[in-house]
Structure 1
């Protein structure tokens, strides 16, 4: 089914990512599960493959391969490790703000470093009191000469502990037009990263807190214009956050099916493999059916995005369908494993834990349904996929396009970021 959307380049990319994940990521899973903390060195190793730059234009050292290629990368990593799939999706989400709103100077400065893996970007929007209500944020940015002074606290920042460049949305004035976005380098005076907190799943990935205490940011680091912060947040969430999280769910879902089918073949009941029982086949059939439907929704949505077609509804629906079906299938898998699924020598319990982490970011299922309802009623406030179609449309294919660059220019800040990364402790 998926070959309807993918071509030979896509499938070659899939094989490369899958081979890498099996060789480099799978042997680290037990370590990450035991440590329950951010895996710095593996995050850097993955970034150096060039995959963070999947949608970065080739002119800036990226792959220029589009959103379907990005989905395949995240999916294949998440099939082995939901945590590393989440790490890549969060960084690619962090790149979106620069792709959509960065000046030419900002793009030349940062996108090559992101594409080469020297810079892991994040996006920081959510605050403790306002949650998903972006307009309720109270963190401030006040202009002071050639700088802005930032004060506030951000939570649930994906890659907060490995990020090199934070895209931060703060309030510069009152009202819906009073939000603005800034690029803030890690290590800036007045910026502090909160301590790591153990989470239910996605061990190896971190989503933590950033504290801003009179953090001075050059005015040149303003993304777009003052008042563009809401657009930066919403467009990044709709056009990158939802499809990226869809891809993580899809990879976990595939892992659920693979592991459960293997278990049913190996495990015996009444002198026969568990897979010989009719009720087990039906449960496996439900998992397979859900996965086929989920993959169709995911690939269709990003295929439209690559074409520059209006697809906000498809992106919302893909996130909704993939999250809900992955959770349903993970629960069915736990039923099939019964008591065996409760022990960590089998990964099915990890899949269930990891799948729950994808539910809330970029909008819960109720949020997706609410927005889809508004689209049905004709009361939605415009489509980001239409507004930014020229920036999200896939580049024309060339020989070698869609592959992983052997090397990419490091960008102006590349060497500094590389030195900083080498000094970081490993996870």
Structure 2
């Protein structure tokens, strides 16, 4: 069977094959170890970053690939197909790139972006808090000016790559209302910044999405990202342009894996003297898997191609995240129907992918939030078009996206 993701028309087929070969050589052998140990995997994300893939959207002037969001989607998808945990690690660092690319000063870009592109620095973004969740304006963490520094206090949760990140993009409150949020770069190890112990989760074993605690953490004024009051713009633009696209790619990679291993299972397993896949009821379920995957792939790549081309596409990005996550959950359930009792055994891969499938849902806004945003657009509520404010500077080509 030809994988849906491997068709000749794929404009990034060389990059896709390169990433696919890498995952089979270096990541696949470690999946069982990560599942067994359930600890934060620190070495593999560094090895992945060393390929230059965190710099997919970073301009070549700063050492990046200048390959665009479509290439970024290919990278995340292919890694997630083998290890959703490592796909999540890659997307979290690529999300951390957004704040510097869009709001960083020239000095900040020249200092941080080459390190990120080279894989020696893993960035994160820290917005969510225990008491506010997806309600960004409800955050209570604060920063106050103290001479040439700012003093930060508060807690951030569900920070992707929390335990391996080198620099955290932290959004905190400096005033009231929409203009009362401000973003800072906070280096790991800075006095006053601590991590709570890694907590086990349902899936994505090997990935850390933990809690940062700031207790009178002093940050130099030059670590300010954007202007005072730009914090909401930093958070929302990063979420729409990178977060939703990245999580779409994560969901798509898991979806592809579930599709592929379930079809293989249905062809190998025999019932009533023939392949399980020959049973009409099972064949109909396989059709459901394939239909959903085709729809998910179309929405995912349509959105990022529009983004790379410079079109206004906020709603396509929002919709892609919603559609991909919801269809993934539906396919995870259908696949488990086909695997039946065999799917409950932990030595079968569907059990792991089933658990991992639920993780993209809450990040960057639950399905309810995505539908709310789409409903607001339909009702004519005015929102910033982040895809127009920060258009892609160039459209990637297949040749430009191939690592060298």
Contact 1:5 1:300 in 2 (8 A): no
Task: Report what 2:108 is aligned to.
Answer: 106
- Separation (CA, whole Å) in 2 of partners of 1:250 and 1:333: 15
Q: Is the 8 A contact 1:5 1:299 kept in 2?
A: no
Q: Which residue of 1 aligns with 2:13?
A: 11
Which 5+ residue runs of structure 2 have no aligned equivalent?
none
User: CA offset at residue 396 of structure 1?
Assistant: 6.0
The equivalent of 2:282 in structure 1 is: 280
The whole-number CA distance in structure 1 between the counterparts of 2:372 and 2:9 is 28
TM-score under structure 2 length normalisation? 0.97
Partner of residue 41 from structure 1, selected from 14, 37, 43: 43
CA offsets per residue over residues 247-306 of structure 1, 9 Å max, x none?
000000000011001101111101111111111111001100100000000000000000
How many Å separate the matches in 2 of 1:44 and 1:181?
A: 25
Distance in structure 1 (CA, Å) of the matches to 2:93 and 2:33: 22
Q: Deviations over 1:84-114 (max 9, x none)?
A: 1100000000000000100000000000100
4+ runs deviating over 4 angstroms:
1-5
- Asked whether the equivalents of residues 150 and 213 of structure 1 are also in contact (C-alpha less than 8 Å), the reply is yes
What corresponds to 1:401 in structure 2? Answer: 400
Instruction: Kindly indicate whether residue 229 of structure 2 is the aligned counterpart of residue 227 of structure 1.
Output: yes
CA distance in 2, matches of 1:287, 1:400: 32
Whether contact under 8 Å (1:124, 1:155) holds in the other structure is yes
| Structure 1 residue 347 displacement after superposition | 0.9
The aligned counterpart of 2:270 is 268
RMSD: 1.3
Q: Provide closer, same or farther for how the CA distance between residues 219 and 253 of structure 1 changes in structure 2, counting only shifts above 3 A.
A: same
User: Which residue, out of 345, 349, 353, partners 2:355?
Assistant: 353
Q: Give how far 1:394 is off.
A: 3.1
Query: Deviations for 1:211-235, whole angstroms, at most 9, x for unmatched residues?
Result: 0011111100100100000000000
Contact 2:308 2:396 in 1 (8 A): no
1:193 offset after TM fit, Å? 1.1
Residue 196 of structure 2 contacts residue 212 of structure 2 at CA under 8 Å; is this kept in 1?
A: yes
- The aligned residue for residue 85 of structure 1 is 87
Report the equivalent of 1:366.
368
Contact 2:68 2:396 in 1 (8 A): no
Alignment partner, residue 129 of structure 2: 127
Cα distance change, pair 345–198 in 1 and its aligned pair in 2 (3 A): same
Of 41-50 and 69-78, more deviation after overlay is shown by 41-50
1:43 to partner: Cα distance: 1.2
Pairing partner for 1:59 from 43, 58, 61 = 61
The alignment status of 1:186 with 2:185, answered yes or no, reads no
Query: Matched residues in 1 for 2:183 and 2:285: separation?
Result: 47
Unaligned runs of 5+ in 1: 406-427
Cα distance in 2 between the residues matched to 1:367 and 1:404: 37
